[in-house]
Amino acid sequence: MSAPGGANRRPRPLGGLVGYIGAQRLAGPLVFVNGPRNVGYGEAVEIDFQGRRVHGRVLEVGKDAAVVEVFEGTANLGLGEIEVRFVGRPLESPVGLEMLGRTFDGRGNPIDGGPAPLLVERRDVNGLPINPIARDYPRDFIQTGVSAIDGMNTLVRGQKLPIFSASGLSHDALAAQIVRQARLPGQESEFAVVFAAIGVSHDVARAFRTSFEESGALARAALFLNLADDPTVERLMTPRTALTLAEYLAFEVGLHVLVVLTDITNYCEALREVASAKGEVPSRKGYPGYLYSDLASIYERAGRLRDRPGSITQLPILTMPNDDITHPIPDLTGYITEGQIVLSRELQQLGIGPPIDVLPSLSRLMQDGIGEKRTRDDHADVSNQLYASYARLRDVRRLAAVIGEDELGDLDRRVLAFGARFEREFLAQSPQEDRPIEETLDRGWAALRELPEETLSRVRPRIIERYFRKEGA
């Protein structure tokens, strides 16, 4: 128990809530209060100091002491005058259909100048774990119009597919393009977008907003903004507020909800800040040992439920510190999410955009979302062959760098030709270009035709017959 003993507690009733005046200690984002009774773990807290109100939640509670994390931080709070009230309920945030088309702060208060939405309910932001047998296995192909995703890392409804990026890469443009273009081919359905900005700059938030506006998605979007200059600890709430609304829209209203969370790295930084202020034993790079469980409690709030119409598809964005994919944040994320889209600085420098590095990218749910009746019967073969040939390209380029391109054998030279065509005509596409899946696959074949037929070991003979030979190379 961290709160030291003290005698200046003066409990008094305050409008039905349990209120206390005075705190023992303020440290980082934490307030240590002695003496409260009947305080529950995880309960919401309101704190008043000299006419200003801040909010928090109980992180640890003993018989006579509680540790409260304050979302707005403890700057400008003092020990004596402080009034701490325990709300008696867990942290809650609003949900309602009326929230679409509006902008909120990280806890769900409107910040767009409009009135507070009327027809809303308040729900526990922590959500509940989904019973695995209540889940429906995601297998509906979402066409994003981006070849590197549709062709090789297919997104399906109910999936959580993060974008692993790094500072300076065009992850925001890619996410905006996906939001703009994503649809189920041949099916127009009720959708909604929930966007959570976690510690990103005003410019980034504005760019997303503009993109939603231009595509007409804004009326169907709810924006939750905790920007770079907003309180750090509130970042811990922002994704949960957003997902609480998403769950309502998906599983009670029946909409197909696409959730964009950016930037998860800022979320993890906030978590580390609170953990270290509490004096917890750190594990890797100072992050708390429960980072995995904590991230899972966000990412696992995606999916489909049996017998319910809607779905939540998550598109979290994170920037890898120092471009390092083994850093705990991308690493633990990759263990929870169903794949990842990895962006590469090298491709961006070469002017190939979106700079998706397909080799480390992966969609775990792709297998069941593609093929005959879903996309096309050659989809798996094309994708596997592109992966194999592109991996081979990497080796050939390495060799060419050592012995020179002129010394390469004939086959290796054809691999280089394949690589050039693949990068220029398949990977590269403008942010406005929306490619149907058929076009994506045909572009894949066009690149593969640079290679001799007998090297295509990943393609079944029947598929070679039907697609590879149909237009002579």
Site for another protein in 46-105 (CB under 8 A): 59-63, 89-90
Q: In the chain, what is the straight-line distance between the N-terminal and C-terminal CA atoms, in Å? A: 73
Cβ 370 vs Cβ 141: under 8 Å:
yes
Which one of 25-33, 209-217, 220-228, 361-369 is the stretch in contact with another protein (CB under 8 A)?
361-369
Q: What is the largest CA-CA distance in the chain?
A: 88
The answer to whether 135 contacts another protein (rule: CB under 8 A) is yes
Candidates 158, 199, 353, 419; binder of another protein (CB under 8 A) is 158
**C-alpha torsion sign, points 431, 433, 438, 442:** negative
Residue matched to tokens 């259909």: 97
Give the dihedral of Cα atoms 460, 461, 466, 472; nearest 10 deg.
110
Kindly tell me which of 181 and 344 has the beta carbon lying closer to another protein: 344
Residue 246, CA distances (Å) to 254, 266, 379 in order: 10, 21, 31
Q: What is the H or E stretch that residue 208 is in?
A: helix 202-215
328 touches another protein by CB under 8 A:
yes
Residue in 136, 323, 434, 439 binding another protein, rule: CB under 8 A: 136
Q: Residue 41 or 202: which CB sits closer to another protein?
A: 41
> How many other CB atoms are there within 10 angstroms of residue 338's CB atom?
22
- Find the part of the chain contacting another protein (CB under 8 A) among 110-118, 232-240, 302-310, 416-424: 302-310
Instruction: Kindly tell me which of 98 and 124 has the beta carbon lying closer to another protein.
Output: 124
Q: Please, what is the minimum distance in Å from the beta carbon of residue 100 to another protein?
A: 23
289 is a contact residue toward another protein (CB under 8 A):
yes
124 scored as a contact of another protein (CB under 8 A): yes
* Part in contact with another protein (CB under 8 A); list of ranges 186-194, 238-246, 294-302, 437-445: 294-302
CB of 80 to another protein, least distance (A): 25
Of residues 226-285, those binding another protein (CB under 8 A): 251, 280-284
Smallest separation (angstroms) from another protein to the CB of 439? 22
83-90/43-49 β-pairing: antiparallel
Our measurement of the distance from residue 263's CA atom to the centroid of its chain's CA atoms, rounded to an integer in Å, reads 7
Q: Which of residues 427-446 bind another protein (CB under 8 A)?
A: none
Check binding of 134 to another protein (CB under 8 A). Answer: yes
Residues 6+ positions from 231 with CB-CB distance below 8 Å: 71, 72, 73
Question: Which of 98, 331, 423, 434 lies at the binding interface for another protein (CB under 8 A)?
Answer: 331
Structure tokens at 466: 């039907």
How is residue 141 written in tokens? 């192909």
What is the Cα–Cα distance from 221 to 99, expressed in whole angstroms?
8
φ/ψ (deg, to 5) at 26 = -120, 130
Structure tokens at 339: 């794949």
Q: Which residues are CB-contacts of 436 (< 8 A; sequence separation ≥ 6)? A: 143, 145, 185
- Residues 395-414 touching another protein, rule: CB under 8 A, are 395, 398-399, 402-403, 407-409, 412
Q: Applying CB under 8 A, which part among 48-56, 183-191, 287-295, 422-430 lies near another protein? A: 287-295
119 contributes a contact to another protein by CB under 8 A: no
Per CB under 8 A, the segment of 256-264, 313-321, 334-342, 430-438 that binds another protein is: 334-342
Element (H, E) at 244: helix 238-248
- Binding segment for another protein (CB under 8 A), chosen from 173-181, 215-223, 295-303, 344-352, is 295-303
Rank residues 52 and 460 by Cβ distance to another protein and give the closer one.
460
